[in-house]
Amino acid sequence: MFTNLLICAVFLCIRPSASRVLTTPAELSKKGYDFIIIGGGTAGSVLASRLTENKNTHVLIIEAGDTNEGVVNAMVPFLGVALPGTTLDWNFTTTNQTGLNGRSIPYARGRVLGGSSTINLLTWNRGSNDVWDRWARLTEDSGWSWKSVAKYYFKTSRLVAPADGHNTTTQDIPSAHGNGSVEVSVPEFPSELDNCVIQTSQQLGGRLPFNKDLNTGNSFGFSDTATAYLNLVENWTNLDILLLTQVTKIIQTGKEGKLKEFRGVSIAQTASGPTYKIIAKKEVILSAGVIGTPQLLMLSGIGAKADLEKHKVSVLLDLPGVGQNLTDHPLLPNYFLVDSNQTFDAVLRDSALFGQIIGEWSTTGQGLFVDSPGNTQGFMRLPENSSIFTKVADPTAGKGSGHTEFIFVDGFAALGPLQQPPTGNFMTILTAVASPTSRGSVALASTNPFDKPLIDPGILSSDFDIFAMVQSIKDAQTFIQATPWAGFVTGPFGGLATALTDEEKASFARTLAVTVNHPVGTASMSPSKAKWGVVDSQLLLKGAAGLRIVDASVFPVIPECHVQALVYTVAERAADLIKSKHGC
């Protein structure tokens, strides 16, 4: 296992004050726009910032949600966990999951400027070199290799001193970080767990080695968390942001040679309200995320012919990959009782104390809430001789990538179906499958753009995924038996205590597992001539002109790490591809 400082991507802050913020279509510029970006989320915001660097380029973002300004929970890293299920969330749920004993689980996606990066938990991983090199192989485009994308990654983020100013020499490797707008840092409020985790990985070695900074090219090992803040501080006089407005359809505007041209969009603010049509001079860029992007393509007649016909949508492009290959990281909370009253359990149970800590954060920017609740993270590889490898080829991108992940939380992380118990002090080890082989889909439930689509991530539906999850539970138990934990952990809590055999551990996992919220792949890139995939390696829709897709849906395979730094990096490269194509 590589343990590492958890590098977190934190908070995407667009300064709407520096651009024109519109709340009704009537305010749209009469002069028109070169680029229309659908979705002011993670990728959409990066693109808007880069494309408007040229003051002659006029860009419109259309975002379904509201501004992220002044949303306290979105600004306080610790409270990121409280955002799913609020007005900032689309509130999607999955179909009943066979791998989860038929449970349906919430499927959080940001519906706000900044998108899912506004509601996420700030972990910042760039992905091992082999993650990127596999993309290059799958797309037959060396432009996606680590060697080629490194410069884009370095444009996304920069390492900064933590708020408390402590000396981080032993905690990060500055050369692994770049010059961009996302500020990343090691945790500012060290938790009592941090040293236990790091000493244990230093002590155990082997499959559990210490990795000082996970962002150096090998993504396994253990380290601390780092937090990233993205501030796009350009003065955007050539950017309009239309909020509270949904794109309901992408429209064919003609033909370019043999290719269908899609440069138009329909928009509406409510299901019953009026619709408006807008046309981009250069491109429509679809950045509606891994759920919104395939849903909108299908509503527009772009998808698998049979599925579209089932809903009586007229087929403009038969692209069977649309909505397929949805892949996500399953997450399991393993709870342990601990002999400590330093955990955050008390804070969550005491509203006065909670208020006091929020107060501390808002007045001084210090205190418990400056970090997200997990400070340390580790990635591990399965033992080489694991029985699963007689049936399944190693799904990782390479030996620098992990099969499973740990995140240590100093308290009861109520991420799954269980609520925090009224008494007791806890540690949660979140274990995850980093290289899942399960695949799912996004499908239309109806042709009403305001209806939610059917989301089936297929959590824990493959033999490999359940095998890896069971191994991660065993590894968590081994890890906390090391001497640095002596006297701290008093024992497993709940179903974990009675899950003794592999079968019982598998069943325990199916009862409590949820998602790390890392879905990707529903509009995958692939080589231009390949039958699979939705966009080519330049991210242009196959068989079409004028429409490009830039968001997590284009990932050709899930990376063995947290995904947001890769979304930023993809968007940075896309911005260059767009600028060079249009000379702007």
Ligand X SMILES: *[C@@H]1O[C@H](CO)[C@@H](O)[C@H](O)[C@H]1NC(C)=O
Ligand Y SMILES: Cc1cc2nc3c(=O)[nH]c(=O)nc-3n(C[C@H](O)[C@H](O)[C@H](O)COP(=O)(O)OP(=O)(O)OC[C@H]3O[C@@H](n4cnc5c(N)ncnc54)[C@H](O)[C@@H]3O)c2cc1C
Q: Is 71 in the site for ligand Y (CB under 6 A)?
A: no
Q: Exposed, middle or buried: residue 547 (CB in 10 Å: 0-12, 13-18, 19+)?
A: buried
Alpha carbon distance 377, 516 (integer Å): 13
Residue 63's binding partner, choosing from ligand Y, ligand X, none, with beta-carbon cut-off 5 to 8 A by kind? ligand Y
Is 247 labeled as ligand-binding?
yes
Can you spell out the DSSP letters for 81-150? GG-TTSTTB--EEPPPBGGGTTB--EE--B-BTTGGGTSS--B-----HHHHHHHHHHHT-GGGSHHHHH
Q: Which two tokens stand for residue 232?
A: 């796009």
Based on the shown chain and the rule CB under 6 A, indicate whether residue 536 belongs to the binding site for ligand X.
no
Tokens standing for residue 547: 């429409």
User: At how many degrees (to 10) do helices 564-582 and 42-51 cross?
Assistant: 30
Q: How many helices (H) and strands (E) does the chain have?
A: 13, 30
For residue 333, the minimal CB distance to ligand X (Å) is: 22
Asked if 185 touches ligand X (CB under 6 A), the answer is no
Which of ligand Y, ligand X, none is residue 556 near (CB under 5 to 8 Å by kind)? Answer: ligand X
Q: Is 562 a catalytic residue?
A: yes
Does 389 bind ligand X (CB under 6 A)? Our answer is: no
Could you give the CA distance from residue 246 to residue 38 in angstroms, rounded to a whole number?
Answer: 8
The residue within the footprint of ligand Y, chosen from 28, 79, 121, 382 (CB under 6 A), is 121
Range in contact with ligand Y (rule: CB under 6 A) among 51-59, 184-192, 283-291, 354-362: 283-291
What is the DSSP secondary structure assignment for residue 292, as one 8-state letter?
Answer: H
Of 58-66, 343-351, 392-400, 455-463: span binding ligand Y (CB under 6 A): 58-66
267-302: buried (b, 16+ CB within 10 Å) or exposed (e) per residue?
bbbeeeeeebebebebbbbbbbbbbbbbbbbbbbbb
By CB under 6 A, tell whether 219 contacts ligand Y.
no
Determine if residue 489 is labeled as part of a ligand binding site.
no
264 counts as binding ligand Y under rule CB under 6 A: no
User: Is 3 near ligand X (CB under 6 A)?
Assistant: no
**Residue from 2, 3, 4, 8 that binds ligand Y (CB under 6 A)?**
8
From the candidates 58, 329, 562, 582, which is the catalytic residue?
562
Q: Using CB under 6 A, pick the residue from 13, 37, 108, 319 that binds ligand Y.
A: 108
Find which of ligand X, ligand Y, none residue 96 binds, CB within 5 to 8 Å per kind: ligand X
- Shortest Cβ contact with ligand Y: which residue? 41
| 246 lines the binding site for ligand X (CB under 6 A) | no
Q: Are 35 and 57 in contact (CB under 8 A)?
A: yes
In the bound state with ligand X, the residue whose beta carbon lies nearer, of 170 and 314, is: 170
Q: How far is the CB of 533 from ligand X (least distance, A)?
A: 7
| Structure-token pair, residue 353 | 């104390």
Contacts of 132 (CB under 8 A, 6+ apart): 144, 145, 146, 149
Greatest extent of the chain over all pairs of C-alpha atoms, in Å? 72
Name the nearest CA neighbour of 213 among 180, 184, 245: 184
Among 288, 338, 357, 535, binds ligand Y (CB under 6 A): 288
Which one from 58, 177, 329, 518 is the annotated catalytic residue?
Answer: 518
Provide the 10 A C-beta neighbour count for residue 351: 9
CA–CA–CA angle 250, 256, 260 (5° rounding): 40
Please tell me whether residue 269 binds ligand Y under the rule CB under 6 A.
no
- Binding span for ligand X by CB under 6 A among 26-34, 166-174, 493-501, 559-567: 166-174
Contact region with ligand Y (CB under 6 A), list: 25-33, 188-196, 289-297, 479-487: 289-297
C-alpha gyration radius of the chain:
23
Site residues for ligand X, 445-504, by CB under 6 A, read none
Residue 499 in tokens: 């899950």
The footprint of ligand Y (CB under 6 A) covers 8-9, 38-43, 62-65, 84, 108-111, 115-117, 119-123, 246-247, 287-290, 292, 296, 517-518, 551-552, 562-564, 567
What amino acid positions are annotated as catalytic residues?
Answer: 518, 562
Which residues line the annotated binding site? 112, 247
The footprint of ligand X (CB under 6 A) covers 85-87, 89-91, 96, 102, 111, 154, 167, 169-170, 178-179, 233, 235, 321, 324-325, 341, 383, 385, 387, 524, 532, 556-557
